[in-house]
Chains A and B, each alone.
Chain A
């Protein structure tokens, strides 16, 4: 009953380091999303993938890249981390064919950039 799995749960980086946040879903969903959550600002969309093979920018894409590796997996990469990227990152997935298109979220990755 895994749903959406994110790894790692916690990460500390130094400015300029790179890392990849991993996300996998086992619900056979077509669409996947990456959000960041900052205090007092709710969740903001970074990138999304409507279906396997496609990716698009969201509201705050600068400093990030994504890869939709296959239908299950959608990774988020920080090439050169900055303190402004300290945040909690959430991955989500949804099934676009349903009327509601509910997004289901992973447990989040708490990232600190020093």
Chain B
């Protein structure tokens, strides 16, 4: 079974609108972390936001927020007030187990977001 599932291969959003990118995960660990990365066309991987499994509040970083629903095992990324520069591939990733040395990440297949005028 896939540990990270991103069901939206591509998404379109109008500039200045909000968009939600879906991510569901599968783990039996109680302690884990969820990450979102952005990959623009230039190819680098840019960290956006982190949610720990024990965090009681949803994470926010500027225009990015993470809608964390633990019981449903979902960690959706919400981008508010979309900008043209948000056009990129977005990856959801999971770290299983508590933090420590060599915490491996499992990545989803990504969602390609296109922001339109």
Q: Which residues of chain A have a CB within 8 Å of any CB of chain B? A: 30-31, 33, 40-45, 48-51, 54, 56, 58, 88, 90, 92, 94, 96, 98-108, 110
Contact = CB atoms under 8 A, between A and B. Distances in A.
B99 A42 contact: no
B12 interface: no
A49 B101 CA distance: 8
A44 B104 CA distance: 10
Contacts of B50: 100, 102
Contacts of A94: 103
B68 to A, nearest CB: 14
> Which 10 residue pairs spanning A and B have beta carbons closest together?
A50-B102, A50-B101, A42-B107, A105-B45, A101-B99, A43-B107, A96-B101, A42-B109, A100-B50, A101-B103
Contacts of B33: 100-101
A33 B104 contact: yes
Interface of A is mostly: loop
B3 to A, nearest CB: 11
Interface residues of B, number: 26
Contacts, number: 74
B105 A103 contact: yes
A8 to B, nearest CB: 14
A2 B11 CA distance: 32
A96 B100 contact: yes
A31 B96 CA distance: 16
Given A51-B101, A100-B52, A101-B95, 12 more contacts: A31-B102, A42-B109, A43-B93, A43-B107, A50-B100, A54-B101, A56-B102, A92-B45, A99-B99, A102-B35, A102-B50, A110-B43
Contact of B108 (A42, A51, A92, A103): A42
Nearest to A55: B102
Nearest to A41: B109
Contacts of A41: 109
16 contacts: A42-B4, A42-B109, A43-B91, A43-B105, A49-B102, A50-B102, A51-B101, A54-B102, A58-B104, A96-B102, A98-B99, A99-B52, A100-B33, A101-B33, A101-B95, A102-B35
